[in-house]
Copies of this chain bind each other. A is one copy, B any other.
Amino acid sequence: MILQRLLGDRIDGGSLTLVLPDGQRSSVGTGAPEIVARIHDKGALLALLRNPRLAFGELYMEGRLTLDQGSLINLLSLVIGANRFEDGGHKGRLKKQLGFIKSLLPRRNDATAARRNVAHHYDLDERLYRLFLDPDLQYSCAYFHDTARGLAGAQADKKAHIAAKLDLRPGQRVLDIGCGWGGMALTLNRLAGVEVLGVTLSEEQLRVARQRAEEAGVADQVRFELVDYRALAGRFDRIVSVGMFEHVGAAHYGEFFAKCRELLTDDGVMLLHTIGKYGKAGKPDPFTDKWIFPGYHLPSLSQMMAASEEVRLIATDVETLRLHYAYTLRHWLANCHAHRAEIVALYDERFFRMWEYYLAAGAVAFENGAMNNFQVQYVRDRRALPITRDYMVEAEQRYRAMLAG
């Protein structure tokens, strides 16, 4: 019964059995994968009915919803697959069906818990990231030009893809907003002889990035600073920002684009790489907002364009990476599973399950939910770039070969 409420009358490609606290079993669907999920207490059942999008992840994390058979990602695929964005998502049916239940239940305020638990995503131990990311520590959507090249290859190809869109020349000054552990900045320098300033707000990332620049002997060309991009002055020939815009928040889009325009030279080029949404940007996923990325916001293309048009940034090229992040997340998830013992040793079982849920839910959201990854190329002046995309194709092949060789 609860299953019908969540999934409707039928699901495609698999079956799901729910074992309730009193031992009662309820099933939908047929065939593989066969998933058996167990709900351990009545409170869990109520929470699931009240706020399924949040409770699902929390109950899994807390071990109050476990799997007797099958994998988490297949379970999530069944749920999201029954509510595909392409078919209108969960807005229609789920909202209607759950609305009346929700209205009967008391509300909790979890704000305190939210702040306490994970406000510091990027300050997590570097060892954690080393356990599931590629060796270059690219913590953003890879580009699977050739799936056979695996995660590390796809992350290299992503850097080549982005570098090609930046139309780089030796000696140019490049700003990397949200530089992570420095992999993109170091790669742009290596590929095109540009000088890069990478900025981050994480001391941990700064330390690692600086150390890597030292080790590569390019600390004079690739610098890193612990600074908010809004505090920067000067101008840059190129700006690249990968996986940072998600944290800007819709209320600050205008400020973001105005500052980027100000930091860009008249003939400058910017490449913005961000998770986005296909449809109208709605509320953030409650689990992700509470446990993983507090305050995150995923833009629709119309939102990004409205904000950037306002400051006369010209969007010259938009590519919607649709399934690449799903592939990326499935790699990360597999790496986490392979290093489960180490991750549990670093943190605990509960953390592992939270992390697992975050990655698995992300993968299925890119597969059937509203999520994608936009790459938007901006200029201030329409003449800043060649008139066709040929330069991208040529540079990308060259860069890809340099990184593969």
Interface centre among A266, A278, A380, A382 (most CB of B within 10 A): A382
The answer to whether A309 touches B279, judged by C-beta atoms less than 8 angstroms apart, is: yes
Q: Interface size on A (CB < 8 Å)? A: 39
Chain B residue numbers with a CB within 8 Å of A389 are 319
Contacts A306-B302, A382-B86 hold; do A320 and B315 have CB atoms under 8 A apart? Answer: yes
Assembled-state Cα–Cα distance A11/B310 (Å)? 26
List of B residues within 8 angstroms of A145 by Cβ: 388, 390
A312 contacts which chain B residues (CB < 8 A)?
A: 85-86, 88, 278-279
Contact code string A313-326 (vs B, CB < 8 Å = 1, else 0): 01111111111100
A301 interface residue, CB < 8 Å from B?
A: yes
Cβ–Cβ < 8 Å partners of A380 in chain B: 86
Min CB–CB distance A357 → chain B (angstroms): 23
Q: Is the C-beta of A236 less than 8 angstroms from some C-beta in chain B?
A: no
Contact B315 A322 (CB under 8 A): no
A305 touches B (CB below 8 Å): yes
**What 0/1 pattern do residues 360 to 383 of A give for CB contact below 8 A with B?**
000000000000100000001111
Residues on B with beta carbons closer than 8 Å to the beta carbon of A300: 305, 309
Complex contact A387–B144 (CB within 8 A): yes
Chain B minimum-CB-distance residue to A89: B312
Question: Closest Cβ of chain B: how far from A46's Cβ, in Å?
Answer: 33
- Whether the pair A316, B322 counts as a contact (CB closer than 8 A) is yes
A169 within 8 Å of B (CB atoms): no
Shortest Cβ gap from A300 to chain B (Å): 6
Residues of B within 8 A of A85 (CB): 312, 382
Known: A86-B312, A315-B301. A143 touches B388 (CB 8 A): yes
Q: Mark A148-161, 1 if CB is under 8 A from B, else 0.
A: 00000000000000
Residues of B within 8 A of A310 (CB): 280
- The 0/1 profile, CB within 8 Å of B marked 1, for residues 378-401 of chain A is 001111000111100100000000
* Residues of B contacting A278 in the complex (Cβ-Cβ under 8 angstroms): 309, 312, 314, 382
CB distance from A148 to the nearest CB of B (A): 14
Chain A 269-283: CB-based contact to B (< 8 A → 1; otherwise 0) = 000000000111000
* Residue among A144, A320, A390 with max Cβ neighbours from chain B (10 Å): A320
Q: How far is the CA of A6 from the CA of B320 in the complex (A)?
A: 42
Among residues 265 to 301 in chain A, which have CB atoms less than 8 Å away from a CB atom of chain B? 266, 278-280, 300-301
The minimal Cβ–Cβ distance linking A181 to chain B, given in whole angstroms, is 26
A302 to chain B: which residues have CB within 8 Å?
302, 305-306, 309
Distance from A157 Cβ to chain B, minimum over Cβ atoms (Å): 9
Quote the shortest CB–CB distance from A179 to chain B (angstroms): 25
> Nearest B residue to A145 by beta-carbon distance?
B388
How far apart are A362's CB and chain B's nearest CB, in angstroms? 15
Closest chain-B Cβ to A288's Cβ sits at a distance in Å of 20
The answer for the CA separation of A103 and B318 in the assembled complex, in Å, is 42
Q: Return 18 A-B CB contacts under 8 Å, by A number.
A: A85-B382, A86-B382, A88-B312, A144-B387, A145-B388, A145-B390, A278-B382, A279-B309, A279-B312, A280-B309, A280-B310, A301-B305, A305-B305, A306-B306, A314-B322, A316-B319, A322-B383, A322-B387
- A-B interface, 4 closest residue pairs, ranked by CB to CB distance from nearest: A318-B318, A302-B305, A302-B306, A322-B382
